[in-house]
Structure 1
Amino acid sequence: MATKSIKQVLTGASPHMVGDGFRVSNYVPGPYGITRETNPFIMLDYNMPHYFEPSAYRRGVGEHPHRGFETVSIAYEGQIEHRDSSGGGGVISAGDVQWMTAAAGLMHDEFQSQEFAETGGLQHFIQVWVNLPAKDKMSPPKYQAITNDSISTVKIDDKGSVNRIIAGNFKGVNGAASTFTPIEMYDIRMVTGAEVSFDLPALFNTMILITKGSFIINNEQQAKHKDFVLFNHDGETITLKAEEDSYAMVFSGEPINEPIVSYGPFVMNTQEEIIQAINDFNSGKFGSI
């Protein structure tokens, strides 16, 4: 198969606080406005490793609404607790993933866990928003608690290099998440000198966020921690070689070629649907926690 060539290597916006508990750099849409080239991934925040002092209270973001998409939180370090008005919730720790489908609408909050607040420590995670097609935007909300031990792992070598398949299929092994549209989401962790090649559909929007270390991609391009790599649609094969112990999060998905109209926590297809979402929220139809 042909190589999937690199279009751009980007960095995110300067870090900012979301609530008082998450110090994130926004990559999508980010300073480049690249939603069209990353769809169905319409928002990506990266909380690079950041130390929080012990606290007498839990830091985070209070109750707020969502409609029309899914939120996926991927934890490397720290603990995050989620609750929502559909009954979903739980604490995610290192290696865990929380996949919340807001769809028709819900209220939720996100805070550091009580244990993390009391002890303090490093927090390191990703949150990505996954768009839903028009036919599924008003489906019932749901929650997938994907624990570290439930994520399928494929060995890359005998030295500890692995691919954790969160969604999709990697060399015949299925990911843990259920998705509405075709999505590949891999958490690749490699030791120094390890190399792996894999194929993704040419027409998928594909990107890689480097979350630790440094890679050589396709035997030509270096990408270091915090780099965000966008690929063209001219091939299928990507090759990664780790220059040191390194992590890469791969996001690839079939584009949803429908209009996107967004307003804060609502992502729909028309302005009328946004107005309806606001009215439904104001009238209490999203419920409460």
Structure 2
Amino acid sequence: MEANIKPVSAVLNAPAPHMVGDGFRVHNFFPNGYKIKMSPFFMLDYNAKIAFSARNEPRGVSVHPHRGFETVTIAYHGAVAHHDSAGNSGVIYPGDVQWMTAASGILHKEYHEAEYSKTGGDFQMVQLWVNLPAKDKMSPPKYQAIKHDEIATHVLPENAGLIEVIAGSYQDVKGSASTFTPINVYNAKLNQGGKVSLSFPADYNTGFVIIEGKIRVNGSEIADTDQFIYFKNEGTEIEIEAMENTVILILSGEPINEPIAQYGPFLMNTPEEIQQAINDYNQGKFGYLEE
């Protein structure tokens, strides 16, 4: 194998699922499912494709706070409506991305979109928690609603497929989302037999979720739908071949080498900052959001 290949560390099966609220049946790949180093990505909840039955009262997660990080929701099937205490609201449809910077603090709720809820059907989502460096944890909350048709795209040669660049860059295409630290987030949509080469710095933490399909990586390891491929922090080059029509969520980022203190929906650097977050939340400093 070439010396500059980034080797696969493990191909991981989806951990046992659990419910978040009554609307999201998720497999937590990290930090609970597997103890892997993926900073600046702190958490990956993967709602593998399932069918929800029709229901008039939308399923979801009621009002909850966040501080110290960003939530990134990527929709593949189904639709999610959301509201926050900064006055933002909207619907995340298939292909859309919601990039919410909670930072100094926000209240948030997310539910199955009303029309989707009434019909039911396939539902598949990813939610990431992206850590913020200490200097940015208390910056003002902000929100990036990225519609599918706004996502920057690189079309691969030889009908191999395309790369949707949500954040970071691929070749000459710059991602649609602004980030606080160097991060690459792509959806690679490959046709059967399609090949793509990726290059990330050796020290970047890198992993893929196989959203659908099956791939061969670096000419050897095979990963299937709902598996996670975790790479070693060495080498730079990754070769992917799609063994069938495939969608892959690609994550790679520069680690944030700072202490972490986490309690529920708060992700800070010290226990004192966690206590401050709890106090601020209890005192109503995160604003107001109706249940």
How far is the alpha carbon of 1:278 from its aligned partner?
Answer: 0.3
- Name the CA distance, whole Å, in 1 between partners of 2:88 and 2:4: 42
Q: Does 1:186 align with 2:179?
A: no
Q: Does 1:244 align with 2:270?
A: no
**Is the Cα contact below 8 Å between 1:157 and 1:194 reproduced in 2?**
no
The 3-state SS of whatever aligns with 2:157 is coil
- Aligned residue pair count: 287
- For 1:18, the equivalent position in structure 2 comes to 20
**Is the Cα contact below 8 Å between 1:205 and 1:254 reproduced in 2?**
yes
Aligned partner letter, 1:11:
N
**Is the Cα contact below 8 Å between 2:160 and 2:196 reproduced in 1?**
no
Q: When the two structures are superposed, what TM-score results if normalisation uses the length of structure 1?
A: 0.97
How far is the alpha carbon of 1:8 from its aligned partner?
Answer: 1.3
- For 1:288, the equivalent position in structure 2 comes to 288
How far is the alpha carbon of 1:245 from its aligned partner?
Answer: 0.7
The 3-state SS of whatever aligns with 1:7 is strand
**Is the Cα contact below 8 Å between 1:88 and 1:143 reproduced in 2?**
yes
Q: When the two structures are superposed, what TM-score results if normalisation uses the length of structure 2?
A: 0.97
- For 2:174, the equivalent position in structure 1 comes to 174
- Name the CA distance, whole Å, in 2 between partners of 1:151 and 1:38: 24
**Is the Cα contact below 8 Å between 1:20 and 1:59 reproduced in 2?**
yes
Segments of 4+ in structure 1 off by > 4 A? none
Which region of structure 1 is more displaced relative to structure 2, 250-259 or 11-20?
11-20
- Name the CA distance, whole Å, in 2 between partners of 1:42 and 1:97: 18
The 3-state SS of whatever aligns with 2:272 is helix
- For 1:235, the equivalent position in structure 2 comes to 235
1:268-279 → structure 2 map (5 Å cutoff):
268-279=268-279
Aligned partner letter, 1:221:
E
1:185-224 → structure 2 map (5 Å cutoff):
185-224=185-224
How far is the alpha carbon of 1:208 from its aligned partner?
Answer: 0.8
Unaligned segments of structure 2, at least 5 residues:
none
Change (3 A) 1:254 1:282: same
Q: Does 1:134 align with 2:134?
A: yes
RMSD: 1.0
User: What CA deviation, in whole Å up to 9, does each residue of 1:53-96 have, x standing for no partner?
Assistant: 11010100000000000000000111001111112221010100
Identity %: 51
**Is the Cα contact below 8 Å between 2:183 and 2:252 reproduced in 1?**
yes
